Amino acid sequence: MKKILIIEDEEVMAATLDEYLMHSMHDIHIVQNGTDGIKAIEQIKPDAVLLDLNLPDMHGFEILKLLHKNHKHCAVIVITGQASMSAAVDAMKLGAHDFVPKPVSPERLRVSLQNALERVELQEIAQNFEKMSRKNFQGFIGKSPKMQAVYSLIENAAQSKASVFITGESGTGKELAARAVHELSSRANKPFEVLNCAAIPHNLLESEIFGHVRGAFTGATADREGAASRADGGTLFLDELGEMPIDLQAKLLRFIQSGSFMPVGDSRQRDVDVRFICATNRDPMNAVREGLLREDLYYRLNVVPVYLPPLRDRGAEDIKLLAQHFLEEISREEKKEFTSFSEEVLELFVHYRWSGNVRELENTIRCIVVLNKGETIELEMMNVLDQEAERRLEMLATDAQGAQVFADQFLPVSELDIKPLEVYERDIILAALSACNGNITKASRRLDINPATIHRKQKQWKERGIS
């Protein structure tokens, strides 16, 4: 049953309209002036309004504007005297669905109402459908069901202040997701502060978050604000949370619980209003088990978990959409003519194992575009990918000690062969570095860790004399 509101000051007219609609099984409400009309619209939330334009207390246009702005899914039919046809036309421009001239014909009224109700219903269905299969969302490209789920999760999470915990492999768009939550929230016009826990040396991290006062430590020559106070009113994004030292995690937890903190070297508390988002490419439960992430902190922050699927799980269509998007964007940036991929190239893209996910796809396309000319990306231009694969093989084959030694080194066959885990870790990182010609960024990407982690490890090996 549909709810119909009649706003009509002439009682006889209102009664006639009511009578004409009697058999249509609608739930009919009648009010006599604009003020009551507006009240009724808010209360009843009618599916349709029959609106007389000449009301005693206001012009019907006022109501029409309100309906158009706040109640898009309400069908509006304007009832007008013959003399005011031009008003009827204006009413249509303001969003009325139809008009019925006085004297009202019952048939015309019923048909007009029926059509308007149906049209609104169809509009709603179309909008929901569009929402269900969005091709892009806040900088994300992709229409796979997995991404649709991510989009609506982000949209819903954005409305609240709840902490968001983003997980996903490297290059899957974790930072993009964090920004989207902020942008869609009521804090959008306040700061979005990013703190990358892996890129900042451990001893500076506390001061980066909480700030410090002059003289707090050597080199602290002036008071300095930290990310926590800069983010006041906005969002604090703690990237690579798993890399934060455990003692600092305790301080962070206290901050999250109380909303207040003390800058390094200060004894006065600062209160701020901050929304927390964090991200990690580790499995957080594993990090908790390994003692790298405090369990209480994890549960505190993991209010809304958002998991970004790896590219290989998003299906062929998403890979093609992303590839086309990057091709157009990069061609424009690089002033090249490329507009499409050959079928074979797309096929290769769809089956390639993108361990660096969207970022790797983007970088690969950039590399191909920069190094080539033409309109279509052809298979011959794809040796960038081949080179990567070759290099990975070379890493095994041409390692100074040969492939077999490499395998022996990593796979202990007897108890005596087993070395401390730290040593394997170092060997793997060094092997990866040599395979990437010493390029730390590249090696870290392939190892799915942060470049800063390699720098830190190198320092540790030196300190402990294991390099």
Ligand X SMILES: Nc1ncnc2c1ncn2[C@@H]1O[C@H](COP(=O)(O)OP(=O)(O)OP(=O)(O)O)[C@@H](O)[C@H]1O
Residues that bind ligand X (CB under 6 A): 140-142, 168, 170-176, 281, 322, 358-359, 362
DSSP 8-state assignment for residue 310: P
Nearer to ligand X, 112 or 163 (CB): 163
CA 367 vs CA 142, 370, 377, 434: distances in Å:
22, 5, 12, 21
140 binds, among Mg ion, ligand X, none (CB under 5 to 8 A by kind): ligand X
Can you tell me the distance from the alpha carbon of 98 to that of 460, in angstroms, rounded to the nearest whole number? 76
Pairing of strands 136-137, 376-377: unpaired
User: DSSP per residue over 313-326, as a string?
Assistant: GSHHHHHHHHHHHH
362 binds, among ligand X, Mg ion, none (CB under 5 to 8 A by kind): ligand X
Cβ-Cβ contacts under 8 Å for 272 (sequence gap 6 or more): 228, 229, 231, 232, 233, 259, 260, 261
Facing residues of 326 across strands? none
User: Where does this chain bind Mg ion (CB under 5 A)?
Assistant: 174-175
281 binds, among ligand X, Mg ion, none (CB under 5 to 8 A by kind): ligand X
Can you tell me the distance from the alpha carbon of 65 to that of 58, in angstroms, rounded to the nearest whole number? 12
358 binds, among Mg ion, ligand X, none (CB under 5 to 8 A by kind): ligand X
Least separation in angstroms between CB 325 and ligand X: 7
Residue 192 exposure: Cα atoms within 13 Å on the Cβ side = 18
Least separation in angstroms between CB 362 and ligand X: 6
Nearer to ligand X, 183 or 232 (CB): 183
359 binds, among ligand X, Mg ion, none (CB under 5 to 8 A by kind): ligand X
170 binds, among ligand X, Mg ion, none (CB under 5 to 8 A by kind): ligand X
Nearer to ligand X, 140 or 261 (CB): 140
Least separation in angstroms between CB 309 and ligand X: 10
Nearer to Mg ion, 261 or 276 (CB): 276
CA 438 vs CA 105, 175, 399, 435, 452: distances in Å:
84, 27, 14, 7, 14
CB count within 10 Å of CB 89 equals 12
CA 20 vs CA 17, 24, 25, 96, 104: distances in Å:
5, 8, 11, 20, 9
Least separation in angstroms between CB 280 and Mg ion: 9
3-state SS, residue 376: strand
Please give the structure tokens belonging to residue 331: 């061609």
C-beta nearest to ligand X: residue: 173
Yes or no: say if 4 and 113 are a contact pair by the CB < 8 Å rule.
yes
Least separation in angstroms between CB 439 and ligand X: 16
Nearer to ligand X, 140 or 210 (CB): 140
Least separation in angstroms between CB 454 and Mg ion: 16
Nearer to ligand X, 4 or 368 (CB): 368
Nearer to ligand X, 265 or 305 (CB): 305
Least separation in angstroms between CB 450 and ligand X: 7
254 binds, among ligand X, Mg ion, none (CB under 5 to 8 A by kind): none
Yes or no: say if 448 and 281 are a contact pair by the CB < 8 Å rule.
yes
Nearer to Mg ion, 169 or 206 (CB): 169
CB count within 10 Å of CB 90 equals 15
C-beta nearest to Mg ion: residue: 175
Least separation in angstroms between CB 357 and ligand X: 7
CA 383 vs CA 348, 368, 420: distances in Å:
12, 9, 39
